[in-house]
Amino acid sequence: MSLVLIAIGLLVASALAAFLLARAPRLATLCGVGGAMLAGLAGLIPSLRILLTGANESFVMPWSMPGGSLHIGLDAVSAVFLIPIFLITALAALYGGSYLRPFWGKRAIGFSWFCFNLLTACLILVVVARNGLLFLMAWEGMSLASFFLVVFEHDKKEAREAGWLYLVATHLGAAFLLIFFALLAREAHSFDFDCIGAMPQTIANAAFLLAVIGFGTKAGFMPLHVWLPEAHPAAPSHVSAVLSGIMIKTGIYGLVRTLILLGNPPVWWGWTLVGIGLSSGILGVVYALAQHDLKRLLAYCSVENIGIIALGLGLGVLGLSMGHPLVAQLGFGGALLHVVNHALFKGLLFLGAGAVAHSTGTRDMDRLGGLAKIMPWTALTFIIGSAAIAGLPPLNGFVGEFLVYYGALIACLPGGMANPLPAVGIVAGLALIGGLAAACFAKAFGIVFLGEPRTDAARQAHECGWSMRLPMIILAAACVLIGFGAPWAVAALKPAIADLAGVPAAQVFSATGRSMMLLMEVTIGFAAAAGVVVLLGFIRRRLLKNRPVRFAPTWGCGYAAPTPRMQYTGSSFALWFVDAFRWILRTERHRSLPQGYFPDAAFMTTETPDGFRELIFRPVFAQIRWALASLRWIQHGRLQVYILYIAATLVALLIWYASCL
Amino acid sequence: MGLETLFVFLVLTGLVLLGSSLLRSSIRMVAMQGAALSFLPLLVMESSWAGRAVFLAALTMGLKGIVFPVLLNRSMREANVRREMEPLVGYSLSLALGIALLILAFWLADRLHEIGVGISTLSLAAAFFMMFTGLFLIIARRKALTQVLGFLALENGIYSFGLTVVGHIHWLVELGVLLDVFVAVFIMGIAIDHISREFDHINVDQLDQLKG
Amino acid sequence: MNAISWIHMAVALVLAPLLLGAINRTKARIAGRAGAPLLQLYFDLWKLLRKGAVYSRATTWVFRAGPPIGLAAVLGALLLTPFGKSGAVLAFGGDLVLFAYWLGLMRFVTVLAALDTGSSFEGMGAGREVFFSALAEPAFLLGMLGLARATDALSLSTILPGISAATWLAAGPALALIAAAWLVVLLAENARIPVDDPNTHLELTMIHEVMVLDHGGPDLALILYGAALKLWVMSALLVSLLTPIRYGVAWQDALVFLGGMLILAVGIGLIEGAMARLRLTRVPQLLMGALALAALALMLIIK
C-alpha cells in the first residue's frame, strides 16, 4: 500500500520537476520519463502481490473537504486495473521520450510531461479511491490532464476540435457521475464506499442507469463514443496508448465498482449491458473497417473491444440475476481478462502506429506499404498485436473471449438460464465481431506493412530507436506469455472475479470440477501447434537446402509498367464490408472522373464521418445552441453590470437566509 | 412430427420469398405455401367435419396451388418482367431483417400461446412470420407483382393463424374469404396488365407521378 | 484421449488428399471425362516437395511463415475433431470455439501472405475471403450452439458422438436445417462451387485459389495439404451430424464414418458438377440464407 502512495508521490514530484524545467527539454524529459518508470516499477509490486495473495489493504486519512476523506484501498479488483496502469504508463513514457524528440524547442515538452505524470497519478487515484469525493476529484484531474495532452499539437485545427469535443463529452459524463455519487451518498449518508449498503430497488436502478451513462461516456459505449475517434488520433501516440489502453478502462472500473457496491442485480441490467456490448462491438468494428487513418481505425477498435468487455459484464450480471454462479464467474472473468489483454495489445498497436507516423510523417494507410522490410521490429510486434486483438489463438485475446464464449455456451444448455436468448446473442455477436475484427486487422497490418511502399513517404521510412522498440517488444512478449500461460493468468484473476460474483475466491470456477487448471487443454493445444510450426519450418529448410531458391518480381499478369500504386488499397480491401453496411456507415464519396480522350489526373476520396455524431449529437447541440442564443443578451461585456449581478445575488441570498432564521 | 415439418416448411418458403429476386420462383413459393396450407384443415379439424374439411382442402389446393400461379404467371408474361431488379431493400438486408422478424415471431408466439389449448408455439410463430414476410414484401419491393405475392403470403399467414387458434372454421366464412382473395388476385392481374401497358413498367414507386 | 483417437488422426492425415481426389473424380465423371487419378493430390504433393522455391522480392518473412502456420492451425483443429463415437485427441468444454478460431488463424495468415506479395490479384481474393468468412462463421457457430443444446453437451467430442437416432427423431427438422447450413459453410470455406471455382485462375472467380497464386514448391505443398485437411475436418463434422449410427465398436464406427465421408465427397462432387458458380454478388445472400437456416434451427431447438 505504501508503495502505491510512494508511486503517486514520485509521479507528482516528477511532474512538478518537469514543469519547472520546461526550458530544458532534455532534463524535463528525463524527469518525466524517469518518474513514470520508477513509479511503474514501484506500483507493480504491491498490485501483483495483492492479486497473488488476495489480501486487501486500506489507508485512511482525514481531509478538510466536507464529506470527503482520503480513503484509499487496494483490493483484488483495483489490483487488476492497476497492473495495466503501471505497466502501460511506464512503457509509454519510455516510448514518449524518443517520440517527442522532434518537438523539442517547438512545443511545450515540460508541460506535456507534467500533464502525463499527473494523468498517471490521477489514474491510480481513481482506481484506489474509496471515497466518492476523492474519486470525483481524481476523475476530473484525469480528464483535464488528458485534455491538455490531447491538444498537444494545438496549432492544428483538428487537434483543437478533438480536444474541445473530448472536454465537452467528458464533462457531460462527469455531470451524470456527480448525480450518481450524490444519490449514493444520500442513501448511505456518507461518501465513503464502505458505507454503501442495501438500498431500495428504484434508487439502485436509477444509480445503475446513471453509472452506465456516466462511466459509459468515458469507456466509449455506443452511442456515447463520439469523442473517442477524434481525441485518440489527435493525441501523440504514447498518450493515445494510455488513453485507449487505460483511461477508457477507468470507465469499466467505475461500472465494475458500481456492480459490486449495488449488488443483487435485476435481470434487465444484464440485458442492457449485453445490448450495449453488441451494438458497440459490431458497429465499432464496422466503422473501423471504413477508416483510412490508422489511428482512427485503432480508436474505433477500442470501441469494439469495450463492447466485448460489456458483453462479458452483461453475461456475468445475467448469471448473477438468474442464479447461475458459474456463468456469472465466467462472464466476469472474461471481462476482466479482456480489460488487461486489451490494455496490452491496444497499447502495443498505438505505439506501433506512432512509430509508423513518426517515421513516415503520415497516418493514411493508403499512402504506406512495404514497411515490414524497413521497420522489421515494429512489424513483428504489430503483427502480434493484430493477431491478439483479432482473438486468434495462441495469443491472449482468444483466452479472454473464450471465457465469455464458454459462459454463454453453458447458459444456452437446457440446464442453463431460463431465457437463453441473450447468451445466443452473445455467441452470435462474438462470432461476427471476431470475423470482422480479423478482417479489420488483416487490412491494417497488410496495407501498412506488407507489399510495396506506395509513396515516397513510405519509402523513406526508418526503423525507430531502441527506446521506442523496447516497450513494444515487452508488450508483445506479454501478449504471447498470457496466451500460452492462460491457466495461470485466469487463476491470478480469481480474487477479483470472486469480488464481483459474490463468492469466496476458492469457489470460483469450482462448478467446472477443475477450477485449478481451467484452460489447460487450450494451452496444450497451443503448445502442440507451436511445436508443429517449428517442426515444419525445419523440414522446409532441410528440403530447400540443396535446391535452387530464386527471387523474382511478383507475377503481374504481364502488365507493361506495373507500379506499387496498383496494389490493393485499404479501401478496396474493405469495400465488401463498407458496401454491405452502407446503411449504417453512410460513406461519402468525392470524385472527379477521367474525362476526354487524354484524361488528366482523376481522384476519388471516401470519408466516413461518425454516424452518431452527424445524426444525433450535432443536430441536438445545434438546437441547444439556437435555443440558448436567445439568452445572449446577458453577455454584454460591461464589467460593472457583472459585478452588479454578483452583488444582487449575494443580497438576495442574505435576505432569504435571514428571513428563514 | 408431420405438423412440425409442415410449419418449418412454411417458414422456409417465407425465407426464400425474402431472398429471391426471380419472380417465377417467388410465385412458385407462394403456390407451395398455399398447397401446404391446404393440408392443414385435414390435420387440424375434428372428425365430424371431415367431409367439409376434404372439400375445403381441395378447393384451397385448387385455388392457391393452381389457379393463382397460372394467373400470376400470365400477368408476368404480359408485363414482360422476370426479375425484381432494384428492390427498395436489398436482398442480403432483407434476409437479415427476416432473421430479426423470425425472432420477433417466435417471441410473440411464446407470449401468446397460452390463449388456447394445445396450440404449439411453432404454429403461431410460422403464422406470424408469414404475415410479417407478406407485409415486408409489400413495403420493400417495387414491382406490383411482388406486392400481390406479398398480399397472398399475408393472407396465408392470417389463414393459418385462424386455423390453428380457432381449430375449426365455419366453412361459409372460409369460402367467402377464398372468394374474396380470388377476386382480388384476378383484379390485380388485370390492373397490372393495364399499368404495364400504360407505363411500360410495373414499378409502383413511380405511380406517384399520377397525382395532379 | 485414447489410442483410437490417435489412430483416427493418423487415418485422417493419410486419407485427406483422397477426399479431394474423390470429389474431382466425381466432377469429371459427371462432365463425361475420365478425370484425374484418385491419388492425384498425392502425386502433386510429392512433386512439389521435390522442387525448389521462387520467392517474390516484394515479400517478407510473413509470406514464408504463412504456409507452416496455416498447416499447424488446421492440425490444431484436427486434434479437436471427433470421429464416430470415439472422442478427439484433445477434448474440453468449449473446444468448438477453439476449432472455429484455429480455422480463423489459418485464414488470417493466408490473407496476410497474400497481401505480402503486393499483387492486386491476391489483394482481391483476400478481400473477398475475409468478407465471406465473416458471414460464414456465425452460421457455423450458431449451428454448433443448436447441436450443443440438443445434445446437452459442451465439447465437440461429446456433442457429435451424442447425436443418435433418438436426437434426430426428437429434433429432426432442426438438425436437417443445421446440416443444410453447414453444407453451405463447407462449400464456402473450402472454395467449392457454387461459391468459388477451384479449377480456374481467372480473377472473376477466384477467392482461395488466387490467394496462393505466388506460392510454389514445398510452400504450395503445405498449402494444398492444409486445404485438404481443412476439407476433411469440416466434412467430418458434417458426416458426424448426418450419420447418427453408433455401434460402439471401434472398427464398425470407423467404417461407417469413412463410408459417410466418401458419400459426402461424392455428394459435393455432384453439387459441383451440376451447378455453376454463383455470381459473386449473390454469395453474401447465400451465406445470409445459411445464417437464417441456422438461426431458425436454433429457435426450433430452444422452443
B window 99-158, beta carbon within 8 A of A: 103
Decide which of B21 and A442 is more confident. A442
State the smallest CA–CA distance between residue C69 and chain A in angstroms: 6
The count of other CB atoms within 10 Å of the CB of residue C297 is: 27
B-C CB pairs within 8 A amount to: 48
Write the residue in C59, C131, C217 that is nearest to A439 by C-beta: C131
Reduced to 3 states, what is the DSSP secondary structure of residue A23?
coil
The rounded distance, in Å, linking the Cα atoms of C111 and C131 is 11
CA atoms within 13 Å, Cβ hemisphere of B56: 27
CA atoms of A373 and A383, how far apart (whole Å): 13
This complex has an ipTM of 0.94
The verdict on C131 touching A (C-beta cutoff 8 Å) is yes
Q: Note whether C284 contacts A: Cβ–Cβ < 8 A.
A: yes
Q: Give the pLDDT of residue A479.
A: 93
pLDDT for B137 beyond 60: yes
Phi, psi of A554 (to 5 degrees): -65, 140
Chain C positions touching B103 (Cβ under 8 A) are 295, 299
Give residue A341's pLDDT band: very low, low, confident or very high (50, 70, 90): very high
Q: Report the residue of A543, A549, A557 to disrupt the C interface, i.e. the one with the largest count of C CBs within 10 Å.
A: A543
Give how far Cα A299 sits from Cα of A225, A350, A424, A473, A478, Å: 10, 9, 28, 21, 21
Q: Say which of B11, B12, B106 has its CB closest to residue C303.
A: B106
What residues have CB less than 8 Å from A351, skipping those under 6 apart?
A: A91, A92, A95, A237, A238, A241, A468, A471, A472, A475
In chain A, positions 543-582, which contact chain B (CB-CB < 8 Å)?
580
Is-contact A327 A319, C-beta < 8 A? yes
Question: Who contacts B61 (Cβ-Cβ below 8 Å, separation ≥6)?
Answer: B34, B35, B38
Cβ of B99 within 8 Å of Cβ of C289? The answer is no
Among C185, C192, C196, which Cα is nearest to C140's?
A: C185
pLDDT the model gives residue C205:
63
Q: What is the DSSP letter of B201?
A: S
Instruction: Determine which of A80-94, B74-88, B191-205 has the lowest per-residue pLDDT on average.
Output: B191-205
Comparing CB atoms, the residue among A387, A405, A543 nearest residue C218 is A543
Residue C176, pLDDT score: 92
CA distances from A252 to A50, A215, A221, A247, A335 (A): 20, 7, 10, 9, 9
Q: Which chain C residues are closer than 8 Å to B99 by Cβ?
A: 291-292, 295
Type and span of the H or E element at A605: strand A603-607
Q: Does A562 touch chain C (CB under 8 A)?
A: no
CA distance C197 to C193: 5
A104 touches chain C (CB under 8 A): no
B119: Cα within 13 Å, side-chain hemisphere: 24
Query: What local confidence, expressed as pLDDT, does residue A497 receive?
Result: 87
Q: How far apart are CA A139 and CA B182, in angstroms?
A: 70
State the DSSP string of A226-240: TTHHHHHHHS-HHHH
CA distances from B53 to A532, B158, C276 (A): 68, 18, 44
pLDDT value for A409: 92
**Shortest CA gap B104–chain C (Å):** 11
What pLDDT is stored for residue C70 in this prediction? 94
**What proportion of chain A, given as a percentage, has pLDDT over 70?**
98
Chains contacting B (3 or more CB pairs within 8 Å): A, C
Asked if residues B43 and B156 have their Cβ atoms less than 8 Å apart, the reply is no
Share of chain A above pLDDT 90, in %: 46
Q: Could you give the 3-state DSSP secondary structure of residue A510?
A: helix
Helix (H, G, I), strand (E, B) or coil at A607: strand
**A231 vs chain C: nearest CA distance in angstroms?**
29
Q: CA dihedral in degrees (B105, B108, B112, B117; nearest 10)?
A: 30
Helix H or strand E encompassing B180: helix B171-199
Contact C156, C83 (CB under 8 A): no
Alpha helices in A390-512 (DSSP H): 396-412, 421-449, 456-459, 466-484, 486-501
Between C12 and C207, name the one with better pLDDT: C12
The answer to whether the CB of C216 falls within 8 A of the CB of C51 is yes
CB contact under 8 A, B92 and A583: no
Q: Give yes or no for residue B113 having a pLDDT over 60.
A: yes
Instruction: Say yes or no for a CB contact (<8 Å) between A447 and C62.
Output: no
Element (DSSP H or E) covering residue C56: strand C53-56
* Cα(A40)–Cα(A59) distance, integer angstroms: 20
pLDDT at site A463: 87
Shortest distance between the Cα of B1 and any Cα of chain A, in A, equals 21
C66 min Cα distance to partner chain B (Å): 33
Pairing relation of β-strands C53-56 and A549-552?
Answer: parallel
Q: Please compute the mean of the pLDDT values over residues C81-97 and round it to a whole number.
A: 83
Q: Count other C-beta atoms under 10 Å from residue A657's C-beta.
A: 9
In A223-324, which ranges are continuous DSSP H helix?
Answer: 228-234, 237-242, 248-262, 267-289, 294-321
C-alpha cell at A366: 493508403
pTM recorded for the entire structure: 0.89
Q: Does A432 touch chain C (CB under 8 A)?
A: yes
As a whole number, mean pLDDT of residues A308-330 equals: 91
In chain A, what residues touch B103 (CB-CB under 8 Å)?
421
Of B5, B99, B106, nearest to C173 by CB-CB distance is B5
Alpha-carbon distance of C53 to C62, in angstroms, equals: 16
- Looking up cell 385455388 gives B63
Q: Once rounded to an integer, what is the mean pLDDT over residues B154-165?
A: 83
How close, in Å, is residue A405 to chain B by CA atoms? 21
State the best of C132, C178, C291, C299 to mutate against chain B, taking most chain B CBs within 10 Å: C299
Averaged pLDDT for residues A582-605: 84
The residues, ordered by sequence, that sit 6+ positions from A150 with a Cβ below 8 Å of its Cβ are A159, A162, A163, A166, A231, A234, A235, A239, A243
pLDDT at B141: 84
Which tops the pLDDT comparison, A504 or A479? A479
Residues of B in contact with A421 (CB under 8 A): 103
Q: Yes or no: say if A270 and A317 are a contact pair by the CB < 8 Å rule.
A: yes
Mean pLDDT across chain A: 88
Render the burial of A466-505: b for 16+ CB within 10 Å, e for the rest.
eebbebbbbbbebbbebbbbbbebbbbbbbbbbbbbebee
- With bands split at pLDDT 50, 70 and 90, how would you rate the model's confidence at A590? confident
CA separation for the pair B202, B191 (Å, rounded): 10
The reply to whether residue C53 touches residue A536, judged by beta carbons under 8 angstroms, is no
Averaged pLDDT for residues A569-590: 87
Is the Cβ pair C128, A576 closer than 8 Å? yes
The CA–CA distances, whole Å, from C156 to A297, A403, C72, C92, C160 equal: 36, 17, 20, 8, 6
Identify the band that residue A185 occupies on the pLDDT scale cut at 50, 70 and 90. confident
Residue A94 host element (H or E): helix A76-99
Please tell me what DSSP assigns to residue C207. S
Cβ(A25)–Cβ(A109) below 8 Å: yes
Distance from CA of A334 to the nearest CA of B (A): 27
- Residue of chain B minimizing CA distance to A425: B103
Residues of chain C neighbouring B5 (CB-CB closer than 8 A): 172-173
CB-based contact B92 C288, cutoff 8 Å: yes
Q: Chains touching chain C at 3 or more Cβ pairs under 8 angstroms?
A: A, B
Give the residue from chain A lying closest to B110, CA to CA.
A419
- Assess contact for A103 and A4: CB atoms under 8 A: no
Res. A543 pLDDT band, cuts 50 70 90: confident
> Is a pLDDT exceeding 90 seen at residue C291?
yes
pLDDT band at C243 (very low <50, low <70, confident <90, very high): confident
- Closest CA–CA distance from residue B141 to any residue of chain C (Å): 17
| Residue B47 vs residues A304, B39, B168, C178, C201: alpha-carbon distances, Å | 59, 14, 10, 36, 64
* CB atoms B95 and C292 under 8 Å: yes
Amino acid C216: pLDDT: 85
Range B49-61 average pLDDT: 77
CB hemisphere CA count around A442 (13 angstroms): 34
Cell 493445444 belongs to residue: A525
Minimum mean pLDDT range among A77-81, A371-375, B198-202, C132-136: B198-202
Instruction: Please state the φ and ψ torsions of residue C249, each to the nearest 5 degrees.
Output: -95, 130
User: pLDDT tier at A311 (50, 70, 90 boundaries)?
Assistant: very high
Distance (Å) from the alpha carbon of B197 to chain C's nearest alpha carbon: 32
Q: Which three cell numbers stand for residue C197?
A: 471455382
The answer to whether the CB of B37 falls within 8 A of the CB of B164 is no
**Distance from the C290 Cα atom to the nearest Cα atom in chain B, whole angstroms:** 10
Residues ≥6 apart with Cβ < 8 Å to A55:
none
- CB of A424 within 8 Å of a chain B CB? The answer is no
Judged on CB neighbours under 10 Å (0-12, 13-18, 19+), A275 is middle
- Count of residues making up chain B: 212
- Mean pLDDT confidence for A440-458: 91
Would you place residue B167 in the very low, low, confident or very high pLDDT band (cuts 50, 70, 90)? Answer: low
Q: How far is A520 from chain C (nearest CA, A)?
A: 9
C-alpha cell at C282: 449473390
* The 3-state secondary structure of A30-63, one letter per residue: HHHHHHHHHHHHHHHHHHHHHHHHCCCEEEEEEC
Distance CA(A266)–CA(A66), nearest Å, equals 34
DSSP state of C203: T
Optimal mutation site among B7, B15, B101, interface C, most CBs of chain C within 10 A: B15
Q: Which residue of A has its CA nearest to B93?
A: A580
In A367-406, the residues whose Cβ lies within 8 Å of chain C are 369-370, 372-373, 376, 379, 383, 387, 390-393, 398, 401-402, 405-406
| B96 and chain A in contact, CB less than 8 A | no
B89-105 average pLDDT score: 89
Range scoring the smallest mean pLDDT among A183-192, A550-559, C179-188? A550-559
C216–A contact, CB cutoff 8 A: no
pLDDT of res. C132: 93
Q: With an 8 Å Cβ cutoff, is A336 touching chain C?
A: no
Which of A522, A554, A563 would you mutate first to test chain C, the one with the most C CBs within 10 A? Answer: A554
Minimum Cα–Cα distance from C130: chain A residue: A439
Residues B167-178 have a mean pLDDT of 68
CA distance linking residue A223 with residue A333, whole number of Å: 25
What is the Cα–Cα distance from C8 to C82, expressed in whole angstroms?
Answer: 9
Q: Which three cell numbers stand for residue A621?
A: 447541440
Question: A486-501 vs A396-412: helix axis angle to the nearest 10?
Answer: 50
Q: What is the pLDDT of residue A462?
A: 87
Side chain identity, residue A209? L
| pLDDT attached to residue C302 | 86
**Residue A97: burial class (beta carbons within 10 Å; 0-12, 13-18, 19+):** buried
CB-based contact (8 Å) between B81 and chain C?
A: no
> Is A583–B93 a contact, with Cβ atoms under 8 angstroms apart?
yes
Please give the average per-residue pLDDT across C170-180, as a whole number. Answer: 90
Q: Whole-angstrom Cα distance, residue A116 to residue A242?
A: 9
